[in-house]
Amino acid sequence: MAAVGKFFLEILFGSEELRNIIFEILFMVGLWKMFEKSGVKGWWALIPGAREYKLACCAGREPEGRVYSVLTVATRLLNGILSLVYFEQASAEISVFFVIVTIMEVTLWLSLLIYEIRIGIGLIEVYGQRKRWIILWILANWFVTLLWGFSKKYQPAWKVMDIRAEMERLATHGSATVMDEGLTVNLTERSVKEFFQKKVLLRDIHMAIPQGHMVLLLGGSGAGKTTYLNAINGYEKAKAEVLLNGNNMYTQYKKMQYEVGFVPQTEMMRGKDTVLNTLLDAAKLRLPKDVTPDQRRRRVDEVMEIFGLKPVKNNLVEKLSGGQKKRLSISIEFISNPSLFILDEPDSGLDGVMARELFVQLRKIADTGKIVIVITHTPDRVIDLFDDVIVLAKDSARTGRLAYYGSIEDARKFFGRERMEQIVKSVNRKEEGGDGLADEYVMKYAEVQHA
């Protein structure tokens, strides 16, 4: 017993190097057991850099794990350089170098601390503990890993391999039935290259939207709403088949570009032009070349009548009210009489009354047999005007997935929430102010589709 006591006294009051070595060994031992609980090979705990990445995977923070592992390795290398310079320091030139490297080390250390906190919070959520555990995690992570690793009381809510396998199993590899009339989307994947790695932005999104439907597109920040819209309108091609009224959006893009109207959130109009001239210019660009000037003028008059712009047709764009500018922006895209009409936050900057009037007009457009898809951050004030809702969510791998597509009433039952804003909150990650239930609903919807 005396020897054991002496050993621990040496750890507590001995050299800093010895303490650090002992604590790292204890950290690795506890981490080995935690990895095994989470379905990860325990020996990963022995490899610096790799173990930090695996730990992040256990915490459901895989993207952060990539940065965390790089920061860990970089910090270790700088520590080695500092030690070498410290012991061989002999000139003013080296002293300057020592200061520069020290500043770099402090910067890396602060960055590493931020990621340690993020990963620690993720682990606390996975193990179902209170947030105050983060203090102990930062001060003595070796103790936390030992406690959570060896105690049967602390168990992770899921295993890394289990949840990945489950997400793979429940991926909607099937496809939506192609409709002769309407929009059919069978998107397998939309990915990009980022830091020499493949990053999947969207995956497994399949749906068929009938003509005459007005559809709400929901999802938190980064869920892939704009990416999805760009994929279905052909602007950014994905690994997908997108058919509008039986025509392929990708292989027949030149023909189909007149069939799709896309209104971005940002208005791009010349302020010194009149409303009439703005629409006449749009007609020249968006209507087929064989359309005569008289036909273009009649179409412009029709659109101005639809959106209530005739009284201000000779006004300069810069003199229009916010609501009038929105209607003009929509009118520009509606000139070509598209079968699919997509709008990204058309009510941005409008008060409740003006927004309501705008959405009523969009409802009328849908009732003529058009498909209208809308992104809005205030859906509940106009939800009665929509037929269906699409809910996109980021899964644990930060990939945009389909968490729901169907009627508004069925969506309320599916999520157990009355308001659309509550549905968005349910699929948002906890660090974004949400409930963190994205994986749960993605899998639940996949199960419904497979049934």
SS (H, E, C) 171-239: CCCCCCCCCCCCEEEEEEEEEEEECCEEEEEEEEEEEEECCCCEEEEECCCCCCHHHHHHHHCCCCCCE
pLDDT at 409 over 90: yes
Does pTM surpass 0.85? no
- Give residue 163's pLDDT band: very low, low, confident or very high (50, 70, 90): low
DSSP assigned state of 42: G
Give the span between the Cα atoms of 381 and 358, in whole angstroms. Answer: 12
Q: Determine the Cα–Cα distance for residues 426 and 433; give it in Å rounded to an integer.
A: 9
Per the prediction, the chain carries an average pLDDT of 82
- Res 419 pLDDT > 50: yes
Q: How far, in Å, CA of 81 to CA of 85, rounded?
A: 6
For 14, the 3-state DSSP assignment is coil
Q: Does the pLDDT of residue 378 top 50, yes or no?
A: yes
- Confidence label for 407 from pLDDT (cuts 50, 70 and 90): very high
Neighbour order of strands in the sheet with 260-263: 247-248, 239-244, 183-194, 197-209, 400-407, 388-394, 214-218, 371-375, 340-344, 260-263
Average pLDDT over residues 243-247: 88
> What confidence score (pLDDT) does residue 450 get?
67
What are the residues whose beta carbons fall under 8 Å from the beta carbon of 7, sequence distance 6 or more?
Answer: none
Q: What is the pLDDT of residues 72-92, one digit of tens each?
A: 888 878 777 666 655 555 444
Whether the predicted pLDDT of 18 surpasses 60: yes
Tokens of 286: 């968006």
The Cβ-side half-sphere exposure at 368, using a 13 Å CA radius, reads: 14
Query: In the chain, where are the structural domains located?
Result: 2-157, 170-259+338-450
Neighbours of 150 (CB within 10 A): 14
Is the pLDDT score of 128 beyond 70? yes
Task: Spell out the long-range contacts of 355-364 with Cβ–Cβ below 8 A and sequence spacing 24 or more.
Answer: 355/381, 355/382, 356/381, 356/382, 357/323, 358/323, 358/326, 358/327, 358/330, 359/385, 360/385, 361/306, 361/307, 361/327, 362/214, 363/214, 364/306
Distance CA 65, CA 433 (A): 21
Q: What is the CATH number of domain 170-259+338-450?
A: 3.40.50.300
Check residue 89 and give its pLDDT: 52
Element (H, E) at 262: strand 260-263
Q: pLDDT class for 94, splitting at 50, 70, 90? A: low
* Tokens representing residue 141 in the block: 């992570």
pLDDT (tens digit per residue) in 385-406:
999 999 999 887 778 899 999 9
Separation in Å, CA 194 to CA 70, 124, 201: 16, 29, 11
- What confidence category does residue 34 fall into, taking pLDDT thresholds of 50, 70 and 90? very high
Q: Return the C-alpha torsion angle 120, 124, 129, 134, nearest 10.
A: 10
Other beta carbons less than 10 A from residue 141's beta carbon: 20
